[in-house]
A = this chain, B = another copy of it.
Amino acid sequence: MTARPTSRILTELEKAVGTAKLSTDAAVLAEYSRDLGPTDAAALPLAVVFAESVEDVQATVRTCSATGTRIVPRGAGTGLSGGAHAVENSIVLSLERMNRILEIRPDDEVAVVEPGVINADLNTAAAEHGLMYAPDPASHSFSTIGGNIGTNAGGLRCAKYGVTRDSVLGLDVVLADGTLIRTGRSTFKGVAGYDLTGLLVGSEGTLGIVVRATVRLRYLPVDVRTIAAFYPDFASAAAGVLAVGRARVQPAIMELMDAGSLADADRLNGSDLLARGNALLLIQTDGFGAEREAEVVRRVLAGTGAALHAEDPEEAERLVFLRRNSRGIGRDSEFRVGEDVAVPRSRLVDYVRELERMAEDHRVAVKVVAHAGDGNLHPEFWVDSKAPDIREAMARLDRALDESIDVALAMGGTITGEHGIGSFKLRWLPLEHSERLRELEHGVKAVFDPQGILNPGKAV
């Protein structure tokens, strides 16, 4: 800590957690003022608390509650919706130092973790027992379980293995007044009382601070098969998704990349994907039936105009890696905004066609990747940040974003499949949730956080 805290809240926090866990250093404040979401909403916090224990979290929350100070909880800060953007006069509460895997119980197929555990680290530890933690956001090697819980993170394996909520059995949570509660259970099933665990998952830190999670582990597949199907165009590749579905095969991974995404992946990684086709449908089957499923997938896709490659395990792993790293190329000369809509699967082709039309109408660039297995698309729109009239360019970008949301909703979709509302998507929430529904959400918020100090202006 370089600067001496002057205001009352900082003095109190110093008393509560000690100087080693508190920072008001300007560089730290700047670094912790935002996540990877669009920039517009972030402010500098008053301080960052680096909690190392449940007691640290309780002490911080009690101090903030007593002074009415707002708290922005934070995992690794890798969110894409501004859910961890700081607000004026707030404290950022980092959980990254609470990173212990407390228990792995192989026979119960359960793990107990602190919120700061990196998703991939839990998977490494579970793998020693033939187990895995199924939810695998593309950020799995640097995002935390706590952050994943905050947004109910999805990932590549969701269509088969479910999202974060489906793997969280119970939570220890520090409430807005500093009370520690335990929700849920340690068993796979349980229906006692209301499902507050499920309510907390995806609530983006607005209802309480998760300090411990009991999660279900699944079996590491004994076999994995990868099929890379390259197509001349995106619409044919999306038709391949429906064909696999009609064959009633449930892949573990079913990802779509369009030409723009293939080009970005090539540029970022030195690969040659675009030379193989203008769209890629990347499918993995897993488990005891992986080989038989892969046979059916190949047979079905052969009828949809795909150029098929049965990838060897090394090349397969590389393709999945390229897919995971196809986002966020972020060049200085461009202003990019990523989206996260989901549509019913049968509308994938229609939606992508609409995206291309919008891009043309508003003169913006677009590329798209999709977790096609569950209809979740990540279009990315961008404009040249050196455009002569940047305000006009940004206005076009905004109109394209708005339209992409409207069209997704009109097709029976949602404005966010897995990234959360954060602060960035709040403007669109009333288009999806009715006024009465939002009243209920705010009512629930008030039950958990009557002062409104937990991550204000996020999620609802």
- Residues of A with Cβ closer than 8 Å to B? 105-110, 130-131, 151-152, 154, 158-159, 162-163, 165-166, 175, 179, 181-183, 185-196, 198-199, 201-203, 207, 218-220, 222, 242, 245-246, 248-250, 287-290, 292-293, 296, 342-346, 371, 373-376, 412-421, 425, 429, 432-434, 436-438, 440-441, 443-448, 459-460
Contacts and interface: CB of A to CB of B under 8 A. Distances in A.
Contacts of A443: 447-448
Nearest to A428: B192
12 contacts: A107-B245, A130-B248, A162-B166, A182-B437, A185-B414, A188-B373, A193-B421, A194-B444, A194-B445, A199-B444, A288-B290, A288-B292
Which 9 A-B residue pairings sit nearest by Cβ, starting from the closest? A288-B289, A289-B289, A443-B447, A188-B374, A198-B198, A190-B414, A107-B346, A219-B248, A187-B342
A192 B414 contact: yes
A196 B440 contact: yes
Given A187-B376, A219-B250, 16 more contacts: A108-B346, A181-B440, A187-B375, A189-B371, A189-B417, A189-B418, A191-B419, A191-B421, A192-B432, A193-B432, A193-B433, A194-B202, A196-B440, A196-B444, A287-B287, A443-B447
A344 to B, nearest CB: 4
Contacts of A414: 185, 187, 189-192
A149 to B, nearest CB: 11
A112 to B, nearest CB: 11
Contacts of A195: 152, 165, 198-199, 201-203
Contact of A190 (B196, B222, B342): B342
B193 A437 contact: yes
A415 B429 CA distance: 37
Contact of A444 (B158, B175, B433, B444): B444
Contacts of A130: 248
A190 B416 contact: yes
Nearest to A203: B194
A249 B220 CA distance: 10
A203 B287 CA distance: 35
A343 B413 contact: no
Given A166-B162, A189-B376, A444 B441 contact: no
Interface centre among A165, A288, A375, A413 (most CB of B within 10 A): A288
Contact of A107 (B179, B203, B246): B246
B192 A416 contact: yes
Contacts of A373: 188
A203 B163 CA distance: 22
A52 to B, nearest CB: 24
A109 B187 contact: no
Contact of A293 (B250, B288, B440, B445): B288
A441 B448 CA distance: 10
B344 A110 contact: yes
A183 B433 CA distance: 8
A89 B151 CA distance: 44
Contacts of A159: 188
Contacts of A342: 185, 187-190
Nearest to A376: B189
A165 B437 contact: no
A183 to B, nearest CB: 7
Nearest to A346: B107
